[in-house]
Amino acid sequence: MVELTLGQHESTHAKLGFAGDTLNTAVYLKRLLGNSATVSFTTVLGRDPLSTRLVNFLHSESIDTSTISYSADRLVGLYAITTDSDGERTFSYWRNQSAARTLFQTTNTPDFSVLNEFDVLCLSAITLAILPADIRLALLNYLATLRQEKNTLVVFDSNYRQKLWESKQAAQRTISDAWRITDIALPSVDDETDLFADNNEAATISRLKNYGITRGALKRGAKGPLSLENNYEQSPDPAIYTPENYTVVDTTAAGDSFNAGYLSALVQGENATQALQSGHQCAVRVIAHSGAIVPADQWRKL
């Protein structure tokens, strides 16, 4: 999506960028992995100038765009962020008619064949929310088949945005179904609590365990992540270490960047504890900057 970062107070200036939960994760994941793995991004864009700029941005980040398709009559989605003095953000979206809402859809039946050759597939609840209900269900069924027939790993983040769903019940049903076909779970305690009204973290963990989840992390912000492995024990202190002098400027991509750090560690053969630490430290780096994606030149200095 196109990201407009608005100035504080009554400023009329805005900064143009590109972001979105899975896009943020893709960018940070590629930066962390470098040439050791190919990172691809799958979506539908328009043929408008901003869509072209987005593709050029992905190329500048060395992200494969070969599975992106294009709509002749729809545009790339857009959102604006306002951030308060504590780094908390408010979003305004313009994406009801975005090209991404047509993802996997053809004239007759949905086409998921672009997913066939990947070893790992990462999606979020936002991915599911913007799709028609029948396409969501078909996608989840297709992912279940890929897991069984190709040993494809499915990574899922339950980013819950109430306004994107037709009802809370639809969101609960769909996200529960997604958890049941997930290999690496990357939920946040806030999203899970908002959607399922869990009374505490223990209730969230119990519910996740009932889905069959045995791998991943429960994101808890400044408290640090909780491992979803080894009987859901709390992460060792080194994994949740936060530098004393860190600052919070913008938490927009905190969870997305955690996902990238966590996954990059696993891809490179590190263990679960190291992955937790990698995810948390990546998020700490990102939230010290404005906007979802830290500019590449600034990232290299971190």
Rounded Cα distance, 82 and 14, in Å = 10
pLDDT at 82 over 90: no
pLDDT (0 to 100) of residue 238:
44
> According to the model, what pLDDT value does residue 231 have?
63
Mean pLDDT for 98-102 is 97
Q: Which whole number is the average pLDDT over 140-145?
A: 99
Residue 3 lies in a domain: yes
Distance CA 251, CA 58 (A): 22
In a domain, 224, yes or no: no
Q: Say how many domains are in the chain.
A: 1
Q: Choose between 238 and 205: higher pLDDT.
A: 205
pLDDT at 239 over 50: no
- CA 236/CA 174 separation, integer angstroms: 33
Q: Per residue in 23-77, pLDDT tens? A: 999 999 999 999 999 999 999 999 999 999 999 999 999 999 999 999 999 999 9
* CATH code (residue 86): 3.40.1190.30
Residue 106 inside a domain? The answer is no
Angle (CA) 185-284-95 rounded to 5° is 60
Checking if the pLDDT of 108 tops 90, the result is no
Mean pLDDT computed over 102-129: 97
77, 99, 260 from 141: Cα distances, Å: 27, 23, 25
The 3 state secondary structure assigned to 229-294 is CHHHCECCHHHHCCCCCCCCCCCCCHHHHHHHHHHHHHHCCCCHHHHHHHHHHHHHHHCCCCCCCC
Give the residue numbers spanning the domain of 69. Answer: 1-31+39-101
Among residues 149, 231, 156, 219, the alpha carbon closest in space to that of 191 is found at 219
**What local confidence, expressed as pLDDT, does residue 112 receive?**
98
Q: Is the residue at 73 inside a domain?
A: yes
CB 256 within 8 A of CB 28: yes
Domain presence at residue 287: no
Residue 247 above 50 pLDDT? yes
Within a domain: 82: yes
Residue 240 forms part of a structural domain: no
Does residue 119 surpass a pLDDT of 50?
yes
Burial of 96 (0-12, 13-18, 19+ CB in 10 A): exposed
pLDDT-derived band at 91 (thresholds 50, 70, 90) equals confident
Mean pLDDT over 167-182 rounds to 98
Annotated catalytic, 194? no
Q: Is residue 151 part of a domain?
A: no
Determine the pLDDT at residue 203.
Answer: 94
Average pLDDT over residues 247-262: 92
d(CA 86, CA 148): 45
Query: What pLDDT score does 252 carry?
Result: 83
CA dihedral 108, 110, 116, 121 (to 10 degrees): 170
How confident is the model over 180-236, as pLDDT tens digits? 999 999 999 999 999 999 999 999 999 999 999 999 999 998 888 999 986 655 554
Catalytic residue among 84, 134, 256, 297: 256
Q: Which of 51-65, 82-96, 110-124, 211-225 shows the lowest per-residue confidence on average (mean pLDDT)? A: 82-96
